[in-house]
């Protein structure tokens, strides 16, 4: 059986912290599917097409990475792509508390799907998409927080 993992997120925008987690996780699996989530409850700054395009461009030479967009439950997306693992990045202890609750719910919905937590490298622990969007909205320079392929 292939080890397929889904890394879900809004990636609005993709940050260097996301890239760090992806680059370190890809060798753990036969295939890493990056799922750009479309959440009707959120108003993203960037379109799903922009977000998937950036990720595809960054990882175009990595054959084990596939990029999709999806709506609905993450465990349903796992079933669709054949993933038995969900990858989540952790920056702080508070992230773990939130992510564990989601992992527990996902486990109850789909007992065959395991959640794997990977901490980000220390230099990226303060970077979040929310903070990057705030800097963008206020005209600041975000080039030190995002990959050069993320253009808007």
Which active-site residues does the annotation give?
Answer: 18, 42, 91, 129
Q: Could you identify the residue written with the tokens 């993203």?
A: 44
Burial string for 46-73 (b: 16+ CB within 10 Å, else e) reads: bebebbbbbbeebbeeeeebbbbbbeee
Q: How far apart are the first and last CA of the chain?
A: 40
Tell me if the bond preceding 62 is cis, omega within 30° of 0.
no
């Amino acid at each position: 059986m292939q080890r397929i993992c889904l890394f879900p997120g809004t990636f609005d925008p993709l940050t260097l912290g996301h890239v760090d987690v992806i680059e370190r996780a890809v060798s753990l699996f036969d295939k890493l599917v990056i799922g750009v989530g479309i959440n009707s409850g959120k108003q993203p700054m960037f379109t799903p097409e922009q977000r998937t395009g950036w990720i595809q461009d960054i990882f175009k030479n990595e054959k084990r990475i596939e990029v999709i967009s999806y709506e609905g439950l993450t465990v349903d997306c796992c079933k669709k792509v054949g993933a038995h693992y969900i990858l989540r990045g952790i920056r702080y202890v508070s992230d773990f508390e939130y992510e564990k609750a989601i992992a527990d719910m996902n486990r109850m919905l789909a007992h065959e799907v395991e959640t794997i937590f990977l901490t980000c490298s220390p230099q990226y622990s303060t970077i979040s998409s929310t903070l990057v969007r705030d800097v963008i909205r206020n005209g600041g320079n975000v080039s030190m927080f995002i990959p050069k392929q993320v253009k808007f």
